[in-house]
Amino acid sequence: MDNKPYRSLNEYYREIFGRKTAKISLDGGFTCPNRDGTCGERGCLFCSAGGSGDFAENAALSITEQVENGKAQTSDKWKDPAYVAYFQAFTNTYAPVEELRRKYEEALSCEGVEGISIATRSDCLPEDVLELLSELNQKTRLWVELGLQTSDEDSARFIRRGYPLSVFEKAVHDLAERDIPVIVHVILGLPNETRETVLNTIDCINRLPVQGIKLQLLHVLSDSDLAEIYENGGYTPLTKEEYISLVGDCIAHLREDIVIHRLTGDGDKNTLLAPLWSLRKRDVLNSLHKYLKDNNIRQGMSVKN
């Protein structure tokens, strides 16, 4: 990491592709077992009506059209970047294998796409899907993103994740056996979680063959079930200062080889109820970097042996 406080995504992509890299968020038209009745119908407690793909391209378009739209949005900013096709919306391994293969390969056939990142649930990786992912991993740069959110079993039940920690751990090991890099999503500020709860989640990740992490602030969206709890006074979001301090602790306790893919996230300004300070993303990141510098925080400095 040289003198940098953490292993960043930009640095990682430059190591791999040798230039600026953009992720294009795609909607493959999939659903989720937490919505179709398999293990639930309303999604996770914090999920919006659009699921995890609020900023993905339009599902009514073909994968190729979505990729081209995404490329057009970066054409004025960067010259000849590499592109990673990011299947983001809902659960992107939750379909018959041939449908998955067709959509993944369509994305990879688009000019400039040099990798693919697939967001999914840990309970949606049956053997035939793992075999397909292994095939993809032989022909392109592949990442699988798993939404852990928390390692705490009580929290997981409260947010209606739909599976125990053991399922997540098995999924990570199944992917690692096939040399497929794993990116884990963690949410900070979940109801009833303490700093210790969050750091226990980081410690859990440190013990597993994980290559990347996304740290996400919990957003209260008006079209989520969390909104009712918040409006009735049952949930208090983190303040900006609390969040920055907590992220600093996470970075310090995180294994130093793990790439940090995200330090905060975007909430849809049309549906975000709280915390509204998160809309000023540049300010949040600037404040975080100042906090890390002022407190001499470096990734891995507090990892438990």
Where is pLDDT greater, at 54 or 106?
Answer: 106
- pLDDT of 231 strictly over 90: yes
At 124, the pLDDT band (50, 70, 90 cuts) reads: very high
- Residue 20 CA to residue 89 CA, distance in Å, equals 24
Tokens of 265: 């996230």
Q: Is the pLDDT of residue 220 over 90?
A: yes
Res. 143 pLDDT band, cuts 50 70 90: very high
Least confident of 31-40, 150-159, 168-177, 292-301: 31-40
Mean pLDDT value across the chain: 95
User: Does the CA dihedral 58-64-67-71 come out positive or negative?
Assistant: negative
User: By percentage, how much of the chain surpasses pLDDT 70?
Assistant: 97
Q: What is the model's pLDDT at position 1?
A: 60
Please give the C-alpha separations between residue 232 and each of 175, 189, 268, in angstroms, as whole numbers.
Answer: 41, 17, 21
* pTM score of the predicted model: 0.95
- Res. 58 pLDDT band, cuts 50 70 90: confident
Rounded CA separation 24/216 (Å): 19
Residue 83 near residue 66, CB atoms below 8 Å: no
233: left (phi over 0), alpha (psi -120 to 50) or beta: left
Residue 206 region by backbone torsions, left for phi larger than 0, else alpha for psi between -120 and 50, else beta: alpha
Tell me if the bond preceding 181 is cis, omega within 30° of 0.
Answer: no
- pLDDT of 55 above 70: no
Predicted local confidence at residue 51, as pLDDT: 57
pLDDT at 56 over 80: no
Model confidence at 266, in pLDDT bands (50, 70, 90)?
confident
Among 99, 147, 114, residue whose Cα is nearest residue 24: 114
Give the residue ranges of DSSP H helices in the chain: 9-17, 63-74, 97-108, 127-139, 153-158, 165-177, 195-206, 226-231, 240-253, 281-294
> How far apart are alpha carbons 243 and 251 in whole angstroms?
12
User: Which whole number is the average pLDDT over 286-297?
Assistant: 98
Mean pLDDT in residue range 115-131: 98
Residue with tokens 């925080």: 297
Minimum mean pLDDT among 66-80, 95-109, 151-165: which range? Answer: 66-80
What the block records as the tokens of 274 is 């709280």
The DSSP secondary-structure symbol of 279 reads G
65, pLDDT greater than 70: yes
pLDDT digits (tens, 9 = 90+) for 12-54: 999 999 999 999 999 999 999 999 999 988 899 998 876 555 5
How much is the average pLDDT of 137-157? 98
In the chain, the domains with their CATH numbers are 9-294 (3.20.20.70)
pLDDT reading at 75 higher than 90: no
Q: How far apart are CA 78 and CA 24, in angstroms?
A: 14
